[in-house]
Amino acid sequence: MYQFMHLALDSALPSGIAPGAAARLRRCASSSVSIPPPRCLLGPLEAPLRYMFGPGPSNVPPRILAAGGRPIIGHMHEEMFEIMDDIKQGIQYAFQTQNNMTIAASGSGHTAMECALFNCVEPGEPVLVAINGIWGERVAEIARRIGADVKTLVKTPGGYFTNEEIEQALAKHKPVLFFLTHGESSAGLVHPMDGIGDLCRKHNCLFLVDSVASLGGASLFMDKQNIDILYTGSQKALNGPPGTAPVSFNDRACKKMFSRKTKPGLENSWKLHKEVAEYLHEGLEGLGLKLFVQDKNLRLPCVTTIAIPVGYNWREITQYVMKHHRMEITGGLGPSVGMVLRVGLMGYNCSKTNADKVLVALGDALKHCHKSKV
């Protein structure tokens, strides 16, 4: 039987398995380990040659590929600090800036986009976003999610914004930040930059520019063109592997970041969810509803469970709320089906305004849904 297992394993192995892999699998089969090593990891990694002629990533030159094979050193080693300084100077050169706050963030260009918005925009502040493709749409969505008052300038894909149109919008909306995509890859457009930074200075707002698809392939001068925040990605014209997001903030942008009244971070998110949950809980109890988890310290802030009120059908309540208030409230899940109603106020939806909407909807449902006599 044991010999038969050896033969079965050998016949099942793909032809590219590394020498000794079959023996390791046989040892695993006869050991106490119940999950064997995956066959796909027993052979050498093979990455096929592709001509990367799409909008990115691009092919990485041999010199950069070779650099990835250099020895690993500690993140606190003296040589690592030197490398980081060298990278900073390289980004400053590529951006044509002398900004001290110039870094290489770990992540995609989208990471730098979020970094700029989260640090420089506070909830309620007006933000003006130029949309002529997907990246303006993405920035507008992120800004809305962090609570900004988003205003938009919109062109069809391939269209561009004149300086006159931009100045009119700046004067009208008075934003704290104006966003524009330099290289709109979804439409293949490079946007003129001259004079826009001057207009932003005139109207006292920050100028944020996305150059993920353009940096290194089209001329851009951060300091000369008065760009306050500029970011890019490593995987396009810079010819690096994906996963690095160069970003630079000038002194104006840093002043805005460091003088903000609210601080971005996990602690603020935790605090907000707790406050909104407690507000919702108080309102639910005011409606005569009982919370399913009685110990306040054990209640999940993101999802509130309400004991189904006596005499009501939970499905009728959820259906009524959906039909008359366009609001999703769900029943239980698994063992809690028939025991609870679940209300989720999380992330973008976590606000006292939304909690009030829930309370109005549930109050309305309790008045109009059928209640059986008990």
Residue 355: pLDDT above 70? yes
| pLDDT at 367 (0 to 100) | 94
Lowest mean pLDDT: which of 4-18, 94-108, 308-322, 328-342? Answer: 4-18
Say how many C-beta atoms besides its own lie within 10 A of residue 275's C-beta: 15
The mean predicted confidence, pLDDT, of the chain is: 90
Read off the pLDDT of each residue in 299-318 and give the average, rounded to a whole number. Answer: 94
Q: How far are the Cα atoms of 278, 308, 353 from residue 296, in angstroms, in the given order?
A: 9, 18, 22
- Work out the average pLDDT over 90-118: 95
Q: With the C-alpha atoms ordered 211, 216, 219, 222, is the resulting torsion angle positive or negative?
A: positive
pLDDT of 18 strictly over 70: no
What average pLDDT does this structure show over 211-222?
95
- The arithmetic mean of pLDDT across residues 286-294, rounded, is 95
Q: Which of 199, 25, 260 is nearest to 8 (CA)?
A: 25
Tokens of 57: 């990533």
**DSSP state letter for 70:** S
Binding residues for substrate: 342
Q: Show the CA angle centred on residue 199, arms to residues 196 and 202, nearest 5°.
A: 155
Distance CA 190, CA 186 (A): 11
Look at residue 17 and tell me whether its pLDDT is greater than 80.
no
Per the CB < 8 A criterion, the answer to whether 211 and 193 are in contact is: no
Which whole number is the average pLDDT over 142-160? 94
Asked whether 254 and 101 are in contact (CB, 8 A), the reply is yes
What is the rounded radius of gyration, in angstroms, for the C-alpha atoms of the chain?
A: 28
Q: How many helices (H) and strands (E) does the chain have?
A: 12, 12
**Binding site per annotation, positions:** 342
Q: Which of 114, 124, 170 is nearest to 150 (CA)?
A: 124
pLDDT reported for residue 53:
86
CA distances from 48 to 10, 45, 52, 238 (A): 26, 10, 12, 22
pLDDT at 239 over 70: yes
Pairing of strands 189-190, 183-184: antiparallel
Compute the average pLDDT of residues 112-128: 95
In the prediction, which pLDDT does 51 show? Answer: 87
> What does the pLDDT average to over 98-115?
94
Q: What 3-state class would DSSP assign to 190?
A: strand
| Sequence-ordered list of residues with C-beta below 8 angstroms from that of 271, at least 6 positions apart, any chain | none
pLDDT, residue 91, reads 97
Listed in sequence order, the residues at least 6 apart from 187 whose beta carbon sits closer than 8 Å to its beta carbon are 132, 133, 157, 158
Residue 231's nearest CA partner among 220, 64, 239 is 220
Give 80's pLDDT tier (boundaries 50, 70, 90). very high
Peptide bond into 123 cis (omega under 30): no
Reported as a single tens digit per residue, the pLDDT across 265-283 is 878 889 999 999 999 999 9
| Predicted local distance difference test score (pLDDT) of residue 373 | 76
Confidence (pLDDT) at 13: 47
112 and 245 in contact (C-beta within 8 Å)?
yes
Average pLDDT over residues 155-172: 96
pTM: 0.70
Q: What is the mean pLDDT of residues 131-154?
A: 95
Distances from the Cα of 124 to the Cα of 121, 150, 178, 183, angstroms: 9, 9, 15, 28
